[in-house]
Structure 1
Amino acid sequence: MKKKKFFKDKKTMIIQIILFFILLGCFVFVGTRNYSKKVLKDSVRFDKEFNVGKDNVFVYVTASDAYKHVQEDNAIIIFGLKNSKWVSSYVKIVSDVASKVGIDKIYYFDITADREDRNGSYQSIVKYLEDYITYLDDGRANLYAPTILVKKDGLIYYFNDDTALSKGMITAEEYWNEYHKNLAINELTDVFNYYVGEKDGE
């Protein structure tokens, strides 16, 4: 029995091999082009949003991740909002202090959509922090921004939402004068120094 030939002649074989490599090159090019759009690192994304410098320690988390982290023994979490001058001003102070003290990670949870939807994860966070967060006149509890939570050795060591609530007609730029800025820096420095100190079991 004669063996079947894959190619009619040598010329056909060469043409088909060339076409194969051309197609292969196209696939490689298209694949490289599609995957070259890398997802921004959290620190770069955070800098784009808040202008704190690319060498920052912020990590974006979802509502479900935030709920998991608030239950951890040791964690620092900031609850923020989109397009908020108050949040923007506060995270810049937090970022500067964290960098000087040596904090390696701060979780950032943007509550904008989840607070509006009041989904399960958001409500679980509210329930977990019910002794710390603000209640409205109608008795409903909510997270406000900016709020910072620091947990160490399983205990909520620091919870601050002082600038999350209405300051009347005063703007964030007016509020964060040298006096208030220095107060926040000194307070956060003490809190972060305690946080990076020896933890239980270490």
Structure 2
Amino acid sequence: GAVPITEQQNVIQHLINDIRQRGNHTSAGEVSLPSWFRMLSFYGHDDIVYDFLSRTDSPSYGYAIIHGATSLAEDWEGPAPARGQPLASQNHFSFGAVDEWLMCSLAGIKQTANSIDYRVLDIKPAIVENISHVKVTYRTTRGWIETQWNRAGTDFTLKVMLPYGSIANVYVPGMDATSD
């Protein structure tokens, strides 16, 4: 990769420090935002992504929503006409990286590296402190994939539905290969 293995923890910590110094906001733009979510999730920091997604001050998805956005505008501020500005793109997927995080990290639906057409999956949901349940359904050419999890105290329930012909490696949060 672009960063030597010996420096990866330093890079992720620098990113986390930058996010926290900005009040759980990002300085990332449309090109780097998907990588920002992927990197934080890969290193086990889905809580930071959730903190960012929960914001309602600018720049954030929540800010755009409370200012009238019903789709992904071209910037974080929400619909341009509501701000007295000329109409900008109101169907701008640049900030759509959140969809991938919701499906691949929070719901844990990931196709394995050598899989074609969702034949082989890894189901590995990320547990975030303030989220008690998640249900995601995704349509593939094979059929529907669904993960649903609920958490109450120390109880955790995970349900997985796969289309015919697909198989999955299912990882239950908090358990490893040596767990009972």
TM-score (norm 2): 0.25
> Which protein, 1 or 2, shows the higher relative CO under an 8 Å CA cutoff with sep ≥ 6?
1
Whichever structure has more helix as a proportion of its residues is: 1
TM-score (norm 1): 0.23
